[in-house]
């Protein structure tokens, strides 16, 4: 029996926040990927981007990809693209995270990919905080 006043996660419905940060540099004038491999099943409901040296025409995509062919559809299969041609605000280093009210499940050994399109003349530094949650058992 769980005693509510002694359980700090009483109303979490079994989920546990397991956010993680990733970072990289996108060469100027290129399209490049920033990948994160999941080592356990996770739920995701937001990505928070922080950018440096980005410009007006830069965009991003957020994808779930099977790089290693674990599902049998072929290596590098894009399984879902949950934001396409997403515009970045060049006036802000910290882009506003869009938190979705429902989480999406991403299974172990798949990757969350950020595809960044750099259109400026300087390399773009990118940091992303992934709002990941441990799946209830």
Question: Tens of pLDDT along 112-128?
Answer: 999 999 999 999 999 99
* Residue 4 DSSP label: G
Helix (H, G, I), strand (E, B) or coil at 6: helix
Q: Considering only CA atoms, which of 27, 30, 20 is closest in space to residue 111? A: 20
Measured from the Cβ of residue 25, the count of other Cβ atoms closer than 10 Å reads: 15
CA dihedral defined by 46, 52, 55, 56, rounded to 10 degrees? 40
Q: What is the CA radius of gyration of the chain?
A: 17
pLDDT band at 13 (very low <50, low <70, confident <90, very high): low
- pLDDT digit string, tens, across residues 28-57: 999 999 999 999 999 999 999 999 999 999
Beta bridge partners of 34: 114
Q: Is 5 helix (H, G, I), strand (E, B) or coil?
A: helix
Does this model's pTM top 0.85? My answer is: yes
Q: Which domains, from first to last, does the chain contain?
A: 20-134 (2.60.120)
């Amino acid at each position: 029996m769980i005693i509510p006043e002694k359980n700090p996660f009483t109303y979490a419905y079994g989920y546990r926040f397991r956010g993680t940060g990733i970072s990289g540099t996108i060469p100027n004038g290129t399209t490049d990927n920033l990948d994160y491999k999941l080592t356990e099943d996770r739920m995701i409901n937001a990505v928070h981007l922080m950018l440096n040296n980005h410009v007006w025409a830069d965009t991003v995509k957020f994808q779930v990809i099977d790089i290693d062919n674990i599902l049998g559809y072929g290596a590098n299969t894009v399984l879902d693209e949950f934001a396409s041609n997403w515009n970045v605000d060049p006036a802000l280093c910290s882009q506003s995270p869009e938190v979705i009210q429902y989480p999406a499940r991403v299974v172990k050994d798949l990757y969350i990919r950020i595809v960044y399109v750099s259109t400026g003349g300087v390399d773009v530094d990118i940091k992303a905080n992934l709002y990941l949650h441990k799946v209830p058992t």
